[in-house]
Chains A and B, each alone.
Chain A
Amino acid sequence: MKNKENAKVLIIIPAYNESANIEQVINYLVSQAPEVDYIIVNDGSTDNTLKICEEQHYHYLDLPINLGIGGAVQAGYVYALKNDYDIAVQMDGDGQHDIAYLDEVLKPILSEEADIVIGSRFLKKEGFQSSQTRRIGIKILSMLIKLTTGKKVVDVTSGYRAVNRKFIEIYAKDYPADYPEPEAIVTAIMHRGKVVEVPVKMKAREGGESSITFRKSIYYMIKVTLAILVCRLSYGVRRAKG
């Protein structure tokens, strides 16, 4: 069993037009967890995100074109793989996720109870709980994942996650493109990963805009539902072959 001192941990923070939040998020992160490395992935932002990163001498990857959240997070996993990190933690760049819960999120991986840990805002129902419509959407997706994989995950859209070395490698090769969070859970389960949820408190966004507007939410549900089914099917076939 590894302990926190000798496990190399990287925090991946995808950022698309987060100039309103990024300083606060990083300064808070550095003050709360100075011992862990972090990397901001600037996903072709059109605002000052890059400039802020440069001026503040943050650690960042600058993607020349916008790949979307999936591509940005995956860039972080590729970076983690190349730099031999043992654990990667992904957190949103908008300040919703609190670094104070880092230990809780890391614990199941350090004790090897889990390959993937999801920080869930619904387990203890504390903090920001999202709007009712979104909660219904999340519940439907959660049921769908339970149906297709047999694994119960409550907060399927949470972007606060930690994964071990094995899944850094898997995600570096195979990570869904847009609206990736629920699909990435299915990918993980299909690779026989142990998924554990831990309770975290989330905050409402500090500034900027959420990537999912109400208008897009219908499209989101259809797209993610299909993605989960396709993901489940394609791995099912591959598994039968192997």
Chain B
Amino acid sequence: MIPSTLRITLIVAVICYFIIILYLLKKRALNLKYTLLWLLAGGVMGILVIFPDLLVRVIHIFGIQDNMNGLFIMCIAFMLMILMALTSIASRQNMKIRALVQEIGILDKRIRELEAHPEEKQE
């Protein structure tokens, strides 16, 4: 079993975690779309801290002997998922920036042409 002091620490930690996320969301410093995974992770952690028996059972299904190790592994798994999501977001933004930069280059040329020949109009 998880010792009760640790449980209290974890509950406080999960509550802090949610307060920070909700605060950032309220300030619009976080986009809800990108926060869903964080909220899901917090939710799962919260449930497991409140019902530790569930944690023990889940951990044993995966063949992990020590409860604390199980907790750590879960945290790491969530972090990996979030990092992968971030990498994918960064890659997608990279593609969008690329398209924007190309568009700027083309528009820049069009503006130069129009400034040089103001009488020329788009057909």
Q: Which residues of A contact B (CB under 8 A)?
A: 41, 59-65, 67, 71, 74-75, 78-79, 82, 177
Contact = CB atoms under 8 A, between A and B. Distances in A.
Nearest to B99: A78
Interface of B: 98, 101-106, 108-109
A93 to B, nearest CB: 15
Contacts of A67: 98, 101-102
B104 A64 contact: yes
A71 B102 contact: yes
Given A71-B98, A177-B98, A63 B109 contact: no
Majority DSSP secondary structure for residues of A touching B:
mixed
Nearest to A77: B102
Contacts of A41: 105
Interface of B, helix, strand, loop or mixed by DSSP: helix
17 contacts: A41-B105, A59-B109, A60-B109, A61-B106, A62-B105, A62-B109, A63-B102, A63-B105, A67-B101, A71-B98, A71-B102, A75-B101, A75-B105, A78-B102, A79-B106, A79-B109, A82-B106
A60 B102 CA distance: 12
Given A41-B105, A79-B106, 11 more contacts: A59-B109, A61-B106, A62-B105, A63-B102, A64-B104, A65-B101, A71-B102, A74-B98, A74-B102, A75-B102, A82-B106
From B98, B104, B108, B109, residue with most partner A Cβ within 10 Å: B98
A62 B104 CA distance: 8
Give me the 10 closest cross-chain CB pairs, A-B, nearest first.
A61-B105, A75-B102, A63-B105, A71-B98, A78-B102, A63-B101, A75-B105, A79-B106, A61-B109, A62-B108
